[in-house]
Structure 1
Amino acid sequence: MTQSIKTNLQESARIVTETHRGLERKKKEKQRKIFFCLLPFTFYCLLSALPAYAETEKNSCPPRFVLTTPSNNVDITFKDWDKTCGNLKSYILSFEEMLLALNKSNVVYLGEIHNNPKDHKNQLKIIQELYKQNPKIAIAMEMFQKPYQGVVNQYLAGKITEEELIEKSEYEKRWGFPWQNYAPILNFAKEKQLSVITLNTPSEITRKVAQKGLESLTPSEQKLIPPLSEIQTNNEEYRQQLESVFQQHQAANHGNSTDIENFFQAQVLWDETMAEGIAKFRKTYPNYQIIVLAGQGHIIYDYGIPSRVARRLKGEKFIQRSVLLSPPDNINQPKQKKAIADFVLQGGLR
């Protein structure tokens, strides 16, 4: 329950108490009956006002650090520690403690560094451990683009080989990071007959938006993405964060965009498309836990995918948790309005 709701509830209780004291004795019993009749309705209204997704840490509170291997030598420091965040020791968790929290979540984001093999091995470990607790899980993957859902389904059903999956999904062309990073995860999904959701926007569309903007898309191209009205680019903090990424791309002569606005639109389109896929699956299969595999940039501070999933599921009570599988370059940013993630793995392979 949020602090504001607690405060409102306390204030309501104070007013009711003072009112009772001022009533005549003959009216007390009647008022008491009315109060207790209305209390369940009042409590229901308060519950309805709770947020649709998990609250985040206050301003300068960092994420929980998860030690994947017990060690007394892990160097974890927090500059300008805010004592209102509580005991610093409570921010250092074991892998098992993190799993307990993730097990209670409806959507779990595993933020990877694409070319880090350790991240992918920890992804598989987390998926396997969550499966033990709840076999009703689905794996949502940034690595496959939406038009190739049928190809992935064929592989999971045993109708095509792994080599055919790579070829028919155009994996090398459309993603290109080492296949061996993801093969064990897909093999596990096939073995356990888990759903795998292809999340990503087709490369042709993302590239075109990066070069010419959203308005350049044809009606046929727009059918492959969320409605333009749902592609929201009004998060200024996210825009500022991506401006630095854009500048790095320009300095290294990378990317398809020479315009920051088009670059931002392409990134948001990417996020919105993936969020739409997650939200649709959640609405269709509400009893399933969704484990999302995506790059850290789509997850940190909830700017990318998580906030856009929450927007699409507004009014539904569910819990999202985010895990960074490797520490990001800059984890201590006390001026941010929320923690960079819920958990950050520290210490290498589990």
Structure 2
Amino acid sequence: MRTLLFCISLLLSVHANAQDLKAYQLLNAEGGAATFADIVKKSKKSDVVFFGELHNNPIAHWMQYELTKALHEEAKGSLVLGAEMFESDNQLLLTEYLNGTIPAKTFEDEARVWNNYKTDYKPLVDFALEKQLPFIATNIPRRYASLVFKGGFEALEGLAPEAQQYIAPSPVPYDPNLPGYVKMVEMMGGHGSGSANFPKAQAIKDATMAYFISQHLPEKGVFLHFNGSYHSDHYEGIVWYLKEAYAPKAKVLTITTLETDDLSAIPEGEQGKADFYLLVPSSMTKTY
């Protein structure tokens, strides 16, 4: 009887192990297995690290926080944080919160924080608060991106100088043939002013984020930037503007997040997106 119980217990254990669920897998650009330590090591040697997230993916947000902690502990020199999720005209509010001038509620009420701020971005901001790290609001104010969507780059020309300070300097370089922008035109049907201006509205965001990153690069250290993966995938978007216009000598590292049913390999058609891939099961719960 004792032997039978042991065998049953062993079988149940084997079955349980076979059913273990994996929350994520890291791969390098070639599709080989990578570790978190690999990312930290290469990030320390970079000037700018772009962590491309899926906005509602909890594993990506957790790993962003862990990478922030690791770079603060190990990177030589200073660490600067920045994010798409904060618009440049809210830099003063963000700085006042980090300096202890205003309380969290005032900052959150007035800074147009995203709906998932408290679960996904507040831990990063509060880490900056605790460690007294700079945190840069890099994105263009959405009202100005909306102007570009409606009227192209020309719509920005009439803005007051006070408004221009929140946007990448004009004229903004623009390559409509970048594959990411071409796909946006195709998504809009490929004709009409709406389809032509849609990628321009994306480009003004990318350019502005790249510009403000370039203005706050630490002399010796790392700028860690959080953005939707589509802003840095294939080394386009923000990366293209940074390298082509604002900081051509900057050493850049990119991370992208993908949801997939197979964590063992880069999904078909997704090669060439980034230096590291964070693969997460498609069934992973969302933060919103």
TM-score band w.r.t. shorter chain: 0.7 to 0.9
Q: Indicate whether 1:164 and 2:106 are aligned.
A: yes
CA pair 199-314 structure 1, distance change in 2 beyond 3 A = closer
- In structure 1, the residue matched to 2:120 is 181
Question: Partner of 1:230: helix, strand, or coil?
Answer: coil
Q: CA deviation at 1:303?
A: 1.1
Deviations 1:194-237 (A, max 9, x none): 00000111111111211222212323244432233223133342
Listed one character per residue, the Cα deviations across residues 18-37 of structure 1 (whole Å, up to 9, x for unaligned) are xxxxxxxxxxxxxxxxxxxx
Change (3 A) 1:244 1:115: farther
* C-alpha contact (below 8 Å) 1:279/1:312 kept by paired residues: no
Q: CA separation in 1, counterparts of 2:57 and 2:155? A: 35
Please, what TM-score do these two structures have when normalized by structure 2? Answer: 0.77
Residue type at the aligned position of 1:129: A
Match of 1:296 in 2: 229
Contact 2:176 / 2:182 at 8 angstroms: preserved in 1?
no
Contact 1:231 1:269 in 2 (8 A): no
1:178 Cα offset (Å): 4.2
TM-score normalized by the length of structure 1: 0.64
* Cα drift, residue 341 of structure 1: 0.6
Which of 204, 219, 230 does residue 159 from structure 2 map onto? Answer: 219
Greater Cα radius of gyration, structure 1 or 2: 1
Could you tell me which of 74, 80, 102 is aligned with 2:43? 102
Q: Please tell me whether the aligned partners of residues 152 and 200 of structure 2 are also in contact (alpha carbons under 8 angstroms).
A: yes
Q: CA shift at 1:142, angstroms?
A: 0.7
Task: State the distance in 1 between where 2:197 and 2:23 align.
Answer: 45
2:93 pairs with 115, 140, 151, which one? Answer: 151
Q: Note if 1:273 corresponds to 2:208.
A: yes
Letter in 2 for 1:264: P
Residue 259 of structure 2 contacts residue 280 of structure 2 at CA under 8 Å; is this kept in 1? no
Task: Please provide the CA RMSD for this pair.
Answer: 3.2
Q: CA deviation at 1:132?
A: 1.1
Task: Report if aligned partners of 2:60, 2:257 keep a CA contact under 8 Å in 1.
Answer: yes
Query: Where do 5+ consecutive residues of structure 1 fail to align?
Result: 1-69, 78-84, 248-256
* Residue 224 to residue 185, structure 1, CA distance change in 2 (3 Å): closer
Q: 1:325 maps to which residue?
A: 257
The question of whether the paired residues in 1 share the 8 Å contact of 2:172 and 2:204 is answered with no
- Residues 1:120 and 2:61 are matched in the alignment: yes
The aligned counterpart of 1:92 is 33
Q: Which moved more, 1:108-117 or 1:127-136?
A: 127-136
Q: Using the TM superposition, name which of 153-162 and 237-246 deviates more.
A: 237-246
Given candidates 226, 241, 246, the residue that maps to 1:308 is: 241
CA gap 1:103/1:206 in 2 versus in 1, 3 angstroms: same
Shift of 1:315: 5.5
Alpha carbons 1:233, 1:265 under 8 Å: kept: no
> Equivalents in 2 of 1:323, 1:345: separation in Å?
7
Whole-angstrom CA distance in 1 between matches of 2:59 and 2:23: 20
